[in-house]
Amino acid sequence: MRDPPEPTLQDIFAARAHVYRYLTPTPLYRYPGLCDLVGTDIWVKHENHQPGGAFKVRGGLNYVAGLTGRERSAGLFTASTGNHGQSIAYAARAFDTKATIAVPEGSNPGKVAAMRGLGAEVVFHGQDFDTAREWISAEAHRVGGNYVEPTDASLICGVGTYALEILESLPQVETIVVPVGAGSGASGVSIVAKTINPKIEVIAAQSAQAPTMQMSWAAGKAVTAPMTTFAEGVATRVPFENTQRIMRRYLDDFVLVDDSDIRAAVRLLLEHTHNLAEGAGAVSLAAALKLRARLAGRKTVIVLSGGNLSLANLRSILAEERT
């Protein structure tokens, strides 16, 4: 039940009861300034308005709700660059259990502080997410704890609830652009959109400086690639097979955008929506701008997946250019 072979629309409907016990739907707003820039009708799905500032919290709540009391009390162990960890920390607190989160050295300090503020134990380990993940998985096994795989099906189902909200608010949506880190968001969006209306185009996007998920999707097999992006939310080095499987079935396209375009998109979102986006959260606008010609005339939703940009990154992004 907690880990079905592949999540379905029905599973995502089932997740709603758990998600909305704690959260409320996020807004979907149309911004004339972005419509002008992209040259079509653009709505922003504001997952940055969630507690913890990112869509992930939906998944954590659904995951922990699905555990037995015994599994919960064994404690939750996972690895994260920040938002997934905040989600698990939030859910652990909601269900009165303990979370231990491994993060790479040099992680976003605001995200680390937020996890600790939620009561989680945060352990720095390794140079990137995948190193931290291997270590904490072994650690959970060693102490008999509950290791949370970042693309567990119940996480996908939880985050998929935001895709249902998009289709409820804007049934006439024609294209959804969604950023990819581990792929749980893109998987949830794909399952919902394609099951309800296969004509809805779903386009995934990732940083060209962390292209492993895109390359694996395009090649039809796991490919690793150099990872140097500043956008930790999409900083995947080793692809996730279960989200790859879903994305191969459903995605219409998967594009790469350069970090410099992501940084420009952070500036544009601040200017035209007055929302702070982290790098991952701005990937969808960067992709929409790149796909301008293709999106013409299409009612397009871009997912602002998270807002947890550090002040240091914001300063350097604003200093780069006078937009």
Rounded distance between C-alpha atoms, residue 155 and residue 87, angstroms: 10
User: Exposed/middle/buried for 8, CB within 10 Å: 0-12, 13-18, 19+?
Assistant: middle
Is the Cβ of residue 4 or residue 51 nearer to a copy of itself in the bound state? 51
Restricted to residues 19-78, the positions that interact with a copy of itself (CB under 8 A) are 24-25, 27, 29, 31-33, 46, 48-49, 51, 53
Number of residues that bind a copy of itself (CB under 8 A): 36
Respond yes or no: is residue 305 known to be catalytic: yes
Is the Cβ of residue 99 or residue 227 nearer to a copy of itself in the bound state? 99
| 16 lies in the site for a copy of itself, by CB under 8 A | no
Respond yes or no: is residue 316 known to be catalytic: no
Rounded distance between C-alpha atoms, residue 152 and residue 87, angstroms: 13
Candidates 45, 56, 111, 290; catalytic one:
56
* Edge-first strand listing for the sheet containing 121-124: 121-124, 99-103, 76-79, 146-147
Find the part of the chain contacting a copy of itself (CB under 8 A) among 111-119, 135-143, 179-187, 250-258. Answer: 111-119
| 271 lies in the site for a copy of itself, by CB under 8 A | yes
Of 298, 287, 305, 321, the C-alpha closest to 35 is 298
Rounded distance between C-alpha atoms, residue 235 and residue 231, angstroms: 6
Is the Cβ of residue 183 or residue 307 nearer to a copy of itself in the bound state? 307
Q: CB count, 10 Å around CB of 27? A: 13
Q: Please give the single-letter amino acid code of residue 117.
A: G
Which residues lie across from 202 on neighbouring strands? 176
User: What size, in residues, is the chain?
Assistant: 323
Q: Please give the single-letter amino acid code of residue 60.
A: G
Could you say which of 114, 213, 227, 251 contacts a copy of itself (CB under 8 A)? 114
Could you say which of 270, 285, 286, 301 contacts a copy of itself (CB under 8 A)? 270
Q: Please state the φ and ψ torsions of residue 226, each to the nearest 5 degrees.
A: -60, 150
* Cβ at position 208, least distance to a copy of itself in Å: 25
| 309 lies in the site for a copy of itself, by CB under 8 A | yes
What is the binding site for a copy of itself (CB under 8 A)?
24-25, 27, 29, 31-33, 46, 48-49, 51, 53, 110, 113-114, 116-118, 267, 270-276, 278, 307-311, 314-315, 318, 323
**Active-site annotation, residues:** 56, 305
